[in-house]
Amino acid sequence: MGSEVRVRLAPSPTGYLHVGGARTALFNWLFAKSKDGRFILRIEDTDRSRYQEGAVQEILESLRWLGLDWDEGPEVGGDYGPYFQSERTETYKSHAEQLIETGHAYRCFCTPDRLQKLREEQEKAKLPNVSGYDRHCRNLSTEVGQSLLAVKKPHVIRLKIPFNRTVDFHDLIRGEIAYETDSLDDLVLLKSDGFPTYHLANVVDDHMMRISHILRGDEWISSTPKHVLIYEAFGWEPPTFAHMPVILSPDGGKLSKRKGAASVMDYKKAGYLPQALFNFLALLGWSPGDDREKMSREEITEIFSLDRVTPKAAVFDEKKLEWMNGMYMRETSVDSILRDVVRMWVDQGIVARETTTDDPYLRTVVSLLKDRSRTVNELAESATYFFRDPESYEEKAIKKHFKGNAAVTLKSLCEILQQSDSFDHQVLEEVYRAQAETLEIGVGKLIHPTRLAVTGVSYGPGLFELLEALGKENVLRRMKRAVEWLESHQDR
């Protein structure tokens, strides 16, 4: 029982779940899965001034989209909801009071101004620690304290940081870490409005929720000695800590909104697949120990271990994510993306509002474009010519493929296609090959002008599948228009 692995994600709803937060969520989830443990979601929402409307919803949606389900929580509509710290403020309060009773904490009535003054006095007197100074609330007599309390003077509750000591802990990723207590101020546990600080609520909950391992980003490492001292004050055993490496942008700087620090939902909106983001995030600090990069969720879950998480900074390379997403596009099913694609086409006004996903033509278009698109959005955006005749031809391609006697070539192809009973891609391919032989040219000399004529661009899916999908009528109309265009631009 005691050795059960229990981890948690403890986001503050001060913004959206960005990729760093998602990596933390993922590593916790993977660690829980690899150890047959439990992954708990706790919303740390006691700082009401930084609360952002809609953030909780977005965090839940992001986790669900990535498939990072949590294993327990209060029941909401037949499902587990997260734990909310805002519903537990009384618990934190009574715990802070408990530390006063045991002599580990004290009420501090100082205003920031007074604290500053004390600090200056302390420096002059060359005392090592401001709270050791006798005019500090830490050293207030019980009587004075009681009388201030009686007149309801606002106050906070602070932890008595022990003087002149080292506080150390073992980090599973970074090894032994030690801090001098004299470098730490007596930290606030309970604010004057009765709300706990992050430190108190976080420690109380991690203890009460029997969290065995704390896996969090390394920006929290400087909080850990404070937490260890809070555990100590309560007489509790601290969990095991592991601080995950920072994530940098490719230029070595901090991740910024411009350089990948987007939210998980931004990636969803940009047409990324959850399985690709899952795979990509897993490699931000962890590696399988060989050069495998594309790995399924199951594979990663199977072999994930904290031993292979490095303390070295990870690099968020958006190009690599794009490449990886392209690989996942190839293996994803048409069905899994069809709805999103159709919605985008509706939004772009390419298809009618009432279009449904059971139109076989739409399925064909998606399956033809899927393998060559890096994202769902790229797919949706490159499909215009499946629905509309091209309005222009790609400038560079004109020079390459609409040169010489392209008009004559296209005209003769039109005549041959007109007579073809079947528009099956295999039949079309034979027709093209036969014509190339007759003209004693490479078949590419027929394929490229045809493609440019029917799509307006020089790239796309296999030409014969494309022609089959568009159908005889569309193809012939477009080719004839290209011939007309060529004839009217002959003097170019």
Nearer to ligand GLU, 206 or 465 (CB): 206
Nearer to ligand GLU, 66 or 342 (CB): 66
Q: Which stretch binds ligand GLU (CB under 6 A): 5-13, 134-142, 235-243, 435-443?
A: 5-13
CA distance 398 to 400: 5
The catalytic residue among 117, 254, 257, 269 is 257
Please identify which residue in 28, 44, 145, 466 interacts with ligand GLU, judged by CB under 6 A: 44
In the chain, what is the greatest distance between 2 CA atoms, to the nearest angstrom?
A: 110
Q: Is position 216 an interface residue for ligand GLU (rule: CB under 6 A)? A: yes
Angle at 4 between CA 205 and CA 83, to 5 degrees: 30
Q: What is the nearest approach in angstroms of ligand GLU to the Cβ of residue 224?
A: 9
Q: What is the nearest approach in angstroms of ligand GLU to the Cβ of residue 47?
A: 9
* Beta bridge partner(s), residue 6: 38
Where do the H-state alpha helices sit in 35-111? 55-66, 89-101
Q: Is position 109 an interface residue for ligand GLU (rule: CB under 6 A)? A: no
Q: Is position 271 an interface residue for ligand GLU (rule: CB under 6 A)? A: no
Q: Which stretch binds ligand GLU (CB under 6 A): 8-16, 140-148, 171-179, 316-324?
A: 8-16
Please identify which residue in 84, 133, 220, 387 interacts with ligand GLU, judged by CB under 6 A: 220
Is 257 considered catalytic here?
yes
CA distance 175 to 221: 12
Q: Which of residues 145-204 bind ligand GLU (CB under 6 A)?
A: 198, 202
Q: What share of the chain is helix, strand, coil (3-state, %, to 5)?
A: 50, 10, 35
Cα distances (angstroms) measured from residue 191 to each of 88, 110, 369: 15, 12, 57
CA distance 227 to 249: 30
Please name which of 369, 371, 353 lies closest in space to residue 361, comparing C-alpha atoms.
369
Residue 317 DSSP one-character state: -
Q: Is position 18 an interface residue for ligand GLU (rule: CB under 6 A)? A: no
Could you tell me the two tokens for 229? 């001292």
Nearer to ligand GLU, 206 or 468 (CB): 206
Cα distances (angstroms) measured from residue 130 to each of 37, 122, 157, 371: 44, 6, 16, 65
Q: Which of residues 336-375 bind ligand GLU (CB under 6 A)?
A: none
Q: Is position 212 an interface residue for ligand GLU (rule: CB under 6 A)? A: no
Q: Residues in the site for ligand GLU, rule: CB under 6 A?
A: 10-12, 44, 198, 202, 216, 220
Residues annotated as catalytic (active site), given as ranges: 257
